[in-house]
Structure 1
């Protein structure tokens, strides 16, 4: 009996240049999460799907995720061609990826998303994943840098409400802002957002988020009492 490979080739079409290419993804049956950190950073047993989240066109360099709109405006195309394609050296990220490879793909995708002026919540999701990958490498300085960028985008998303229509809820957004502030050492801001989350406890079914906010608030109190 032939063993099933955890990785498979997924066919993609570049929304920018229409090139067809394949990229690796991990079969769901092989994804086994062993831990979830307080900012939702997942740790996996063997195969890490975070490495394969971004698709990169080998021909033009346009980088995108599954939720990226396949329809690009003329202005978006012109800007991407100028800022990305003109500087791109053709190469493929369609094989097995290292953390270093994945970091490159996320940074490319974040740059493309910024050029396209995608939702803040989408850009925040890319930045926080970059921070997670740096954490997995124990590169604290780079982790903190991208955590700060993620925080800025999550705040903008909360203020504009552009998380609506995505899988990220308002409560999750508020909690993440509070948790990132806590990790950045900005205690007053962290407490403010944790309190906003806890105030919603009688009006929500997201009890796990309420508990996480309470845990974060207690961690702050413990540190303050030392």
Structure 2
């Protein structure tokens, strides 16, 4: 029975079932769910933009991709403080590389060159560099990013950069390869070979970074390529555990825990790492 019949003469709809308990919330809920389903899933390219750069070596202009830092959301870093973000691996975009002359460097260091360093780059890098056609891509692949970091490393060596800069580049290459391994399914012989090669590069550059930063802490004054002493000590402690250098790791942890400049959060992480060392040593003893 239509309880609202008779309202038609007023121009109002009187058809349908009467339900005074219906406040429209159910319809709103369905509409919201429909809207959520229609939202386009964000991808890495949504967090990137093109930057025009001018090379300080050859004065040529080129374009590199950068991250919209204000839009990316941080996630929990790896144990050795490798940064992680939602949707995009920001480390892939940490280097600027000139496609004309071969000069490359970490973004923060790209334009900072002395006249003598420019001379060294021209003589040792640009004079031998063979330009290749840059691939068109919406996002950088891990191989492409690592390639640019390797160019940055040889440029750093040519310009006689501080050891902290070279060690940091090596650390970033290792971090990139480690992240790449997680994206490769081990379902085919070819993929297994890729994983093996990535693992070798990861271990090789991680070792270079470890040995480099160990020397840096006794030969340079902080900050070490933008990182304070406590941050580098904590990274080194984790790297030392990776290499089972438990004595070194324990000394670094003790120094951090007793330092008044160490944050509570880092001290808590140090205590967790200390427990891991104790567990590893017990397992080794058994």
- TM class by smaller structure: 0.7 to 0.9
Q: State the shift of 1:193 in Å.
A: 1.4
SS of the residue 1:36 aligns to = coil
- Superposed CA deviations along residues 149-174 of structure 1, whole A, max 9, x for unmatched, are 11122122211233338541111121
Indicate how the Cα distance of structure 1 residues 211 and 58 shifts in structure 2: closer, same or farther if over 3 A, else same: same
Aligned with 2:156 (options 96, 104, 113): 113
1:220 maps to: 277
1:77 maps to: 118
User: Are residue 56 (structure 1) and residue 105 (structure 2) matched?
Assistant: no
The equivalences for 1:168-207 within 5 A come to 168-200=227-259, 203-207=260-264
Distance in 2 (alpha carbons) for counterparts of 1:94 and 1:117 = 32
Distance in 1 (alpha carbons) for counterparts of 2:222 and 2:127 = 32
User: Are residue 148 (structure 1) and residue 189 (structure 2) matched?
Assistant: no
Aligned with 2:53 (options 12, 25, 29): 12
User: Are residue 208 (structure 1) and residue 251 (structure 2) matched?
Assistant: no
Q: Which runs of 5+ in 1 are unaligned?
A: none
- Taking structure 2 as the reference length, the TM-score comes to 0.70
SS of the residue 1:70 aligns to = coil
- Alignment check: 8 A CA contact 1:54 1:105 kept: yes
Distance in 1 (alpha carbons) for counterparts of 2:49 and 2:73 = 17
SS of the residue 1:168 aligns to = coil
Aligned length: 222
Distance in 1 (alpha carbons) for counterparts of 2:225 and 2:264 = 19
Q: Which runs of 5+ in 2 are unaligned?
A: 1-41, 182-197
SS of the residue 2:75 aligns to = strand
1:124 maps to: 167
SS of the residue 1:12 aligns to = strand
**Comparing 178-187 with 39-48, which one deviates more in the overlay?**
39-48
Indicate how the Cα distance of structure 1 residues 166 and 127 shifts in structure 2: closer, same or farther if over 3 A, else same: closer
Q: State the shift of 1:104 in Å.
A: 0.5
Distance in 2 (alpha carbons) for counterparts of 1:123 and 1:94 = 29
Distance in 2 (alpha carbons) for counterparts of 1:173 and 1:165 = 8
Q: State the shift of 1:220 in Å.
A: 0.6
- Taking structure 1 as the reference length, the TM-score comes to 0.88
Larger Rg: 2
RCO higher in structure (CA 8 A, sep ≥6)? 1
- Alignment check: 8 A CA contact 2:117 2:159 kept: yes
Distance in 1 (alpha carbons) for counterparts of 2:110 and 2:201 = 29
SS of the residue 1:37 aligns to = coil
- Alignment check: 8 A CA contact 2:67 2:90 kept: yes
1:66 maps to: 107
TM-align CA RMSD: 2.3
